[in-house]
Structure 1
Amino acid sequence: MLRNFLIRSFLTVGLFASTWAYSVTDEVSYGNIRDVVSTHLHLELSVDFKAKQLTGYVEHQLNWQNKAANKLVLDTRDLTIEKVTFFSGDNWKQANFKLFPHDDVMGSKLSIDLAKQPDKVRIYYTTSPTASGLQWLTPVQTAGKKAPFMYSQSQAIHARSWIPVQDTPAMRVTYSAHIQTPKNLLAVMSADNSKNLNKKDGDYQFQMPQAIPPYLIAIGVGDLAYQSMSSQTGVYAEPSILASAVAEFDDTQAMIEANEKLYDEYRWGQYDLLILPPAFPFGGMENPRLSFITPTVIAGDKSLVNLIAHELAHSWSGNLVTNATWRDLWLNEGFTSYVENRVMEEVFGEERAVMEQWLGVASLKSDLADLPKNDTILNLPLNGRDPDDAFSNVPYVKGQLFLMYLEEKFGREKFDAFVKQYFNHFAFQSLTTAQFEAYLNKHLIEKHPGVVSKKKVHEWIHKPGMTADAPDPQSDAFAKVKQKLDSWLSGELAIDELKKNDWSVHEWLYFLEQLPEDLSKQNMVLLDNTFGLTKSSNSEISFAWYMQAINSDYWVVEQPLESYLSSIGRRKFIVPLYKALANHSPERKKWAEQIYKKARSGYHPLAQGSIDEIFIK
């Protein structure tokens, strides 16, 4: 498989960057990709933890699309541009450039005058200590407490805060890098890391041979160790959590094989995981070859490994076939959520897959109740907003439900063949929703007439809310949990009978989701004393329990909740908890604000932005 992968990727990766995508209008990028595109980047950067800065240059190899063009326009955000040079003849020569005023969403346009259309341009620059795409952590903010840590988070439009680049998913580049760090730290990137496995000398080389959009360029630097899980998979983590991470995620190879069985070969060579410090604002980030993962999914029982299935699924949907603009995010996330669930079914069984479907739909329904109408459309209108402000469960779960709907209508055999063909046809390309619709119509709707109408497809993609005939996953296991919950609430079932249940984490999450918001303090105490919910080490259960505790005025959780908010940075958990506390009462809002003031410096800038708004209002 690896030999075939190498032959296939090196022969095709440079050919697959579809030139049609260069005509796409990306409303949150200044990049002039219709005139000129970067085909390869080389990064030459030094990592300075004391200054919290990257310093060096990026070299762009250019492919000019427009013979009359004389400028290269790049996206930047809070970068200090020192000089720009271009290669002409045998020499590097100085280029004139202009850095435009800062825009709150898009950053600053960097326009470079290049009348002779050179093949190479270098931009020498330094990042800001507050770059939105980088987080710098002190030793005390890490798992091991011994060394600092730095990592990037470039999605959606944060690559521009640490690389001057055409920061749009419509274009794709290969890249190489030379990274210098303090000698006791290891650097890793979303690239081939094999040259750096057995050394920690502060001097690291990387190559990424497959073309990827800029938001998938990623870096991490810290006190990292590595352990393989199979010939194709492994884990990078701080030494103190490496063993537990490997034990939790050692089914990753089985997930790769399940994906390959359904959707053809994995085309990226190695697949490793980087376990980040708790401040990471997301569950995971699908950086190719090296997914970035939150430690909050290390539960000790593999109950939360669907997140690994999700990030791995991006190796087909998102990384291999990519949304051309952030309006089309559902093409990444809807397909990935669908593929994730299919793989979970393949590896862990249908019952678990259906329970995870139900939990996803419950989260979607909560979002649909709160979101503006236009934000419930799959082909999301951004209207000048930062894409981060528009993300919700809609592209993920509504997108997944749309694909489940098509699977139900056409049958799994026909739909599997379509999805596999879709991934192969658009491999290493970026596409819009309009292009997907045209492909869907030609290869599925018209190929099997009378099953699903174009009108119905349009309703799913372009209309707000949910369709009346959307899939409604139901779990027999959840039905039994609900029956016992109702019996306990009515007094027909004693708490000791509930204690006899050997419920999975998914069943416990359902149980907690179904509790009445005004559950009596007496029953809260009874549940807590019987099941130790306040002391749970599972981050998902803790979150659900703390939300219930806030609603029920159960302040036994006060100290554990403060510790929870102070020790993790995952937005999925901390943002709703801060919102619930702020909306509870003036006293609880003041208490939450005090916690936030102490914890804020440990949160990622994306989390800070979301929570700042809660207390500004």
Structure 2
Amino acid sequence: MAPLSSDLTPTVLPTDPHSHAGSSPVRVQHLALALTVDFDQHTLAGTATWHLANPGAAADFVLDTRDLTIEAVEALDATGLATTTDFILGSPDAILGQALRVTLMPATTAVRIRYRTAPQAAALQWLKAEQTAGTEPFLFTQSQAILARTWLPCQDSPGIRFTYEATVRVPAHLLALMSAENPQKLSPTGEYHFRMAQPIPAYLMALAVGDLAFAPLSGRTGIYAEPATLPVATHEFVDLENMVVAAEQLYGPYRWERYDLLVLPPSFPFGGMENPRLTFVTPTILAGDRSLTSLVAHELAHSWSGNLVTNATWNDFWLNEGFTVYFERRIMEHLYGREYADMLQVLGRAALHHTIEEIGAASPDTHLHLALAGRDPDEGLTEIAYEKGCALLLTLESLIGRPRLDTFIKEYFARFSFQAMDTATFLHYLRAELLDKEPGLEAKLNLAAWVDGPGLPPNAPTPTSDRFAKVDQALANLEAGTAPTALRTATTEWSSHEWVHFLHRLSPTLTAEQLAALDAAFHFTTSGNAEILAAWFPHTLRAGYAAADEAVKKFLHHVGRRKFVVPLYQALLATPDGPARAHAIYTEARRNYHSVTTGTLDALLATRAERH
């Protein structure tokens, strides 16, 4: 591999509009964290000691905070001598929180901050025992996109990396885990020590505390889960080591030592979160047939695209997710065949079209490179970054072939390991390494339309699926008058993906009586598969199929994954008596949701209430 020319090294990154610290000349290098977890008060309290990379670069040091109580700040010199120093908390901003400005002394090499989190800290989800699968309370964090600052004073920008060590004290009967080297059994004292030797951005800081057990899957992979969930999870993720091997064969060695999964309670707002060494996953992917494990392949792929090479700002989020979706489906193809991966591509493209329709085909929010300044970066966490980003790589693959694209991606990860990447630098690199070497290739790719243009460019390859073609035939037979029971033989081997495709293509004009016949044949309402339920319930709500109403309510009380609950509340609100039902359910269920989910639903239900 040729040396990287200096003009391609992303040393001058764009200012992060979502961080007070993004433009600070003094940068963090290493964190020593000491926290006590208080389940009674719903707080974390302790100290964060930041060792500075370039302490003499300015007279003060800027961190991001939100809803933190800063009790004291000390400046430390190279010998560890601590001196109380001045600090100022800036004016609060609803999105960005408050800047913490610490006065530095000439000999300062580190800054120690004693602080306490608020009970309502947005990153922290405190669960009562009845909200878990067991008999003990549970705590987990969700730091992405800019919520790390609600539980840790930090430079909360994806372009700023640091290593860390931590001591965490919890009730002695509970296990603590972090995005770091982790214990595999209980500490009798409730004190745990963690170390992360690879530098990470703040959004990948993670903590979980609960009644957890561990089961190894291989020498470097394993599962953490509540004891009642662990056997099912171990069965579901038996292919985890094979996934890691497949990923390494594609794009180079896994650089994070271990790859473990933590199965969280169902209030977790996402499918998964790629915290280094310890991916957090939702129990809604425990389908029993391993048919939803592409989500784990996605989070594993982030160990390269995102964790290893990270978007510099949230405007560049597609550089994380577009590569990750493409990589995820290559892993699944390697493990389960091309036909399987084709189904994922078709489902993904359908989700992209739905998102473009929802946002508006001409909206700048359908560009890959976003402009999110002044807005919550969560607004950019849509299918555009994921599926349009993947479609760009599929288009490039169709033009240059897989071998050349694989070589490009593998070298990209190797060259920029543990660095941040912005869109402009990536485009420069892409041109230098691929596009400029073949006259006319950039025009064929239509690169500008992908990155800075709206919607889906017309040169995107259209994914197809032979397995879905058989589903479409079954749907045609159904519409032609075939009884649902007559389709049982043809559907016995269908995976979750085929059923989701079936339900998404099902006519929206079916009556409650017709849905009852389908339910009698295929038992959708009583399915244990969350993807199937989430695709089925909008039909039942639209048609007024009352037999599913209690199951809808139970699902919304039990599951907090935003991907599922937001569309279901939207479907409920669209029915004649829906607003009243939606508000009644949400009033009871809201406490089961993470702030990431309630932030969306509060706005959705308030808006609909105003309209009525």
Q: Which TM class, normalised by the smaller chain length?
A: over 0.9
Equivalent residue of 1:93, what SS?
strand
Matches within 5 A, 1:210-249: 210-249=198-237
Q: 1:347 is matched by which residue type in structure 2?
A: L
Match of 1:500 in 2: 489
Match of 2:68 in 1: 79
Looking at structure 1, the residues matched to 374 and 412 of structure 2 have their Cα atoms a distance apart, in angstroms, of: 30
* Greater mean alpha carbon deviation, residues 514-523 or residues 336-345: 514-523
Q: 2:284 aligns with which of 296, 309, 329?
A: 296
8 Å contact kept, 1:180–1:204: yes
C-alpha distance 250-27 of structure 1, shift in aligned 2 (>3 A)? same
1:298-347 Cα distance to aligned partner (Å, 9 max, x none): 01000100000000000010000100000000000010000000000000
Match of 1:589 in 2: 579
Residue 547 (structure 1) shift = 1.2
Q: Does 1:465 align with 2:455?
A: yes
Q: 1:62 aligns with which of 42, 45, 52?
A: 52
Q: Does 1:276 align with 2:264?
A: yes
8 Å contact kept, 2:16–2:23: no
Runs of 4+ in 1 over 6 A off after TM superposition: none
Looking at structure 2, the residues matched to 598 and 209 of structure 1 have their Cα atoms a distance apart, in angstroms, of: 43
Q: Does 1:549 align with 2:528?
A: no
Looking at structure 2, the residues matched to 106 and 496 of structure 1 have their Cα atoms a distance apart, in angstroms, of: 55
Return 5+ residue gaps in structure 1 as ranges.
1-17
8 Å contact kept, 1:87–1:121: yes
Match of 2:321 in 1: 333
Q: Does 1:99 align with 2:89?
A: yes
Q: 1:520 aligns with which of 511, 528, 532?
A: 511
1:423-456 Cα distance to aligned partner (Å, 9 max, x none): 1011110010101100000001012333332871
Equivalent residue of 1:234, what SS?
strand
Match of 2:104 in 1: 114
Q: 2:167 aligns with which of 173, 178, 184?
A: 178
Looking at structure 2, the residues matched to 458 and 65 of structure 1 have their Cα atoms a distance apart, in angstroms, of: 40
Looking at structure 1, the residues matched to 505 and 398 of structure 2 have their Cα atoms a distance apart, in angstroms, of: 28
Looking at structure 1, the residues matched to 24 and 126 of structure 2 have their Cα atoms a distance apart, in angstroms, of: 35
Q: 2:137 is matched by which residue type in structure 1?
A: P
Match of 2:551 in 1: 560
8 Å contact kept, 1:87–1:93: yes
Q: 2:95 is matched by which residue type in structure 1?
A: V
Match of 2:423 in 1: 433
8 Å contact kept, 1:409–1:452: no
Q: 2:304 aligns with which of 316, 326, 342?
A: 316
Looking at structure 1, the residues matched to 308 and 379 of structure 2 have their Cα atoms a distance apart, in angstroms, of: 25
C-alpha distance 435-193 of structure 1, shift in aligned 2 (>3 A)? same
Match of 1:161 in 2: 150
Q: Does 1:358 align with 2:346?
A: yes
Looking at structure 1, the residues matched to 167 and 341 of structure 2 have their Cα atoms a distance apart, in angstroms, of: 42
C-alpha distance 56-454 of structure 1, shift in aligned 2 (>3 A)? farther
Q: Does 1:393 align with 2:379?
A: no
8 Å contact kept, 1:150–1:220: yes
Equivalent residue of 1:179, what SS?
strand
Q: 2:404 is matched by which residue type in structure 1?
A: K
Matches within 5 A, 1:477-492: 477-491=467-481
Looking at structure 2, the residues matched to 612 and 398 of structure 1 have their Cα atoms a distance apart, in angstroms, of: 28
Equivalent residue of 1:205, what SS?
strand
Q: 1:212 is matched by which residue type in structure 2?
A: I
Q: 1:546 is matched by which residue type in structure 2?
A: F
Looking at structure 1, the residues matched to 189 and 250 of structure 2 have their Cα atoms a distance apart, in angstroms, of: 41
C-alpha distance 313-20 of structure 1, shift in aligned 2 (>3 A)? closer
Equivalent residue of 1:164, what SS?
coil
Residue 497 (structure 1) shift = 2.5
TM-score by length of 1: 0.94
Equivalent residue of 2:456, what SS?
coil
Match of 2:392 in 1: 402
Equivalent residue of 1:584, what SS?
coil
Residue 536 (structure 1) shift = 0.6
C-alpha distance 95-211 of structure 1, shift in aligned 2 (>3 A)? same
Looking at structure 2, the residues matched to 550 and 511 of structure 1 have their Cα atoms a distance apart, in angstroms, of: 17
Q: 1:341 is matched by which residue type in structure 2?
A: R
Q: 1:561 is matched by which residue type in structure 2?
A: V
Match of 1:25 in 2: 15
Match of 1:3 in 2: none
* Greater mean alpha carbon deviation, residues 502-511 or residues 294-303: 502-511
Looking at structure 2, the residues matched to 550 and 382 of structure 1 have their Cα atoms a distance apart, in angstroms, of: 35
Looking at structure 2, the residues matched to 282 and 58 of structure 1 have their Cα atoms a distance apart, in angstroms, of: 28
Number of paired residues? 596
Match of 2:598 in 1: 608
Q: 1:361 is matched by which residue type in structure 2?
A: R
C-alpha distance 200-243 of structure 1, shift in aligned 2 (>3 A)? farther
1:207-227 Cα distance to aligned partner (Å, 9 max, x none): 000001110011000001001
Match of 2:3 in 1: none
Looking at structure 2, the residues matched to 139 and 248 of structure 1 have their Cα atoms a distance apart, in angstroms, of: 24
Looking at structure 2, the residues matched to 32 and 474 of structure 1 have their Cα atoms a distance apart, in angstroms, of: 43
* Greater mean alpha carbon deviation, residues 511-520 or residues 167-176: 511-520
1:84-113 Cα distance to aligned partner (Å, 9 max, x none): 001135520001001112100100111111
8 Å contact kept, 1:21–1:170: no
Looking at structure 1, the residues matched to 471 and 289 of structure 2 have their Cα atoms a distance apart, in angstroms, of: 20
Looking at structure 2, the residues matched to 350 and 436 of structure 1 have their Cα atoms a distance apart, in angstroms, of: 29
Match of 1:569 in 2: 560
Equivalent residue of 2:120, what SS?
coil
Task: Report percent identity of matched pairs.
Answer: 46
Looking at structure 1, the residues matched to 388 and 287 of structure 2 have their Cα atoms a distance apart, in angstroms, of: 27
TM-score by length of 2: 0.95
Residue 349 (structure 1) shift = 0.7
Residue 374 (structure 1) shift = 1.3
Match of 2:529 in 1: 538
Residue 589 (structure 1) shift = 1.2
Residue 358 (structure 1) shift = 0.5
Equivalent residue of 1:182, what SS?
coil
8 Å contact kept, 2:50–2:111: yes
* Greater mean alpha carbon deviation, residues 561-570 or residues 199-208: 199-208
1:565-608 Cα distance to aligned partner (Å, 9 max, x none): 000100000011011111222x2210111011001111101111
Looking at structure 2, the residues matched to 246 and 87 of structure 1 have their Cα atoms a distance apart, in angstroms, of: 46
Looking at structure 1, the residues matched to 442 and 467 of structure 2 have their Cα atoms a distance apart, in angstroms, of: 31
Q: 2:336 is matched by which residue type in structure 1?
A: F
Match of 1:10 in 2: none
Equivalent residue of 1:36, what SS?
coil
8 Å contact kept, 2:266–2:284: yes
Looking at structure 1, the residues matched to 131 and 484 of structure 2 have their Cα atoms a distance apart, in angstroms, of: 40
Q: 1:137 aligns with which of 127, 132, 135?
A: 127
8 Å contact kept, 1:509–1:544: yes
Residue 23 (structure 1) shift = 4.4
Looking at structure 1, the residues matched to 307 and 238 of structure 2 have their Cα atoms a distance apart, in angstroms, of: 23
Q: 1:583 is matched by which residue type in structure 2?
A: A
Residue 391 (structure 1) shift = 1.7
8 Å contact kept, 2:174–2:186: no
Equivalent residue of 1:561, what SS?
helix
Equivalent residue of 1:174, what SS?
strand
